[in-house]
């Protein structure tokens, strides 16, 4: 969606397994974000990256890891340390800071992870 591809769309895993969610963008945006969505709790920020080879923890980073080796890619790994991994995961890019549409997020279609 809007130049952001998240895969897989649905994922089922056994408890204790690490899972990596893919996020690829062709919007040429520097900044990328990962959010987790649970019913009734809105979107909570996991990690974000302002530029290649740099990333910062969000509000709920524990049990997650990321990498940003390429501008186009920002994969999220849900580790076995994450206590409640079942959720809807959304990746987004942020438009540059200049211009009328500055600092706006464009989201991918999301990945729904279910841990059995």
Partner 1 sequence: GQQVMQIPQYQHVQEGEDFTTYCNSSTTLSNIQWYKQRPGGHPVFLIQLVKSGEVKKQKRLTFQFGEAKKNSSLHITATQTTDVGTYFCARLGNDYKLSFGAGTTVTVRA
Residue ranges that bind partner 1, judged by CB under 8 A: 1, 31, 33, 35, 40-45, 48, 50, 56, 58-59, 90, 94, 101-110
- Among residues 18 and 114, whose Cβ is nearest to partner 1? 114
Question: Cis omega before residue 8 (within 30°)?
Answer: yes
Q: Which residues contact 38 (CB under 8 A, 6 or more apart)?
A: 44, 87, 88
Choose among 88, 70, 92, 67: nearest CA to 1: 92
Name the minimum Å distance from CB 90 to partner 1.
6
Nearer to partner 1 (CB atom), residue 85 or residue 110: 110
- Judged by beta carbon, residue 15 or residue 97, the one nearer partner 1 is 97
């Amino acid at each position: 969606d809007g130049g952001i591809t998240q895969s897989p769309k649905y994922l089922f895993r056994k408890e204790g397994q690490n899972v990596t969610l893919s996020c690829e963008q062709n919007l040429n945006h520097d900044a990328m974000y990962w959010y987790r969505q649970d019913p009734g709790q809105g979107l909570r920020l996991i990690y974000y990256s302002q530029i290649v080879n740099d990333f910062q923890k969000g509000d709920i980073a524990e049990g997650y890891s990321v990498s940003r080796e390429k501008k186009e890619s920002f994969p999220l790994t849900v580790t076995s340390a994450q206590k409640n991994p079942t959720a809807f995961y959304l990746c987004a890019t942020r438009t540059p800071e200049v211009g009328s549409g500055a600092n706006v997020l464009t989201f991918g279609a999301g990945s729904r992870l279910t841990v059995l």
